[in-house]
Amino acid sequence: MSSIFFKQLKIKSPDINLDVNNVSRGEMIGEMIKKINKKFLEKTPNIVLLFGDTNSTLAGAVAASSFNCEIIHIEAGLRSYNKEMPEEHNRIVSDHLSSILCVTSSEPYNNLLNEGFSEKKIFLTGDVMFDNFKMLQKEISEKKSYNKFNLKKNSFILTTIHRQENTHNIIRLKNIFKKLNDISTQNCPVVLPIHPATRQKLLKIKSILQNHCS
């Protein structure tokens, strides 16, 4: 799925692809750390730049902590305070292993201060995701999707669903889609670019319902 991002954001594809997919979270992180560590032994990095709260972010932080290098975490300090979210574990551990913490706003800045981080390690650098949106805003507004789906500008809702606490809970996922359906029929259209993981969960629900009704 990542290839479309490189194309749309007009950035160079990575020189190295770890190619770790379709395994459990623990196995994925362990295999990533192993492969990253091997590459670090070959390259000996001075700086390791990490972004976000994914499993690869955590793996990069753990691998880099064994080397004498600066570890920079972009989007540091964000907290949901929900320990059931794997992303929350990734954020916290990555922050604690990083030497430079780049935050998007005053809220994550204060989160880190409240957790005892030194103010000297924290830098307010802004929101990269918002920067990307601003950069592509004109292109997005000119997309032919408006005509394709018969949409009127500023009269529809764009939504995505991919967080594990929603997609891994059948009842919650069904309720989310029921409400989205209510909104689309009673208020305005809902456009849903569906994440592959969400699609798989929906197909599983469909299969369960069909088996239950047959």
pTM: 0.81
Cα–Cα distance between 190 and 155 in angstroms, integer? 9
**Tokens standing for residue 128:** 């990269």
Give which of 89, 72, 67 is closest to 80, Cα–Cα: 89
Instruction: Give residue 1's Cα distance to chain centre.
Output: 13
> Is the separation of the CB atoms in 55 and 78 below 8 Å?
no
Query: 174 forms bridges with which residues in the sheet?
Result: none
User: Each residue's pLDDT tens digit in the chain (214 positions)?
Assistant: 677 888 878 888 888 989 898 889 999 999 999 999 999 999 899 999 999 999 999 999 999 999 999 999 999 999 999 988 899 999 999 999 999 999 999 999 999 999 999 999 999 999 998 998 888 887 777 766 667 778 887 888 988 888 877 887 888 888 898 999 999 999 999 988 888 878 887 887 776 555 544 4
- Concerning whether 162 is annotated as a catalytic residue, the answer is yes
Single out the catalytic residue among 89, 162, 168, 195. 162
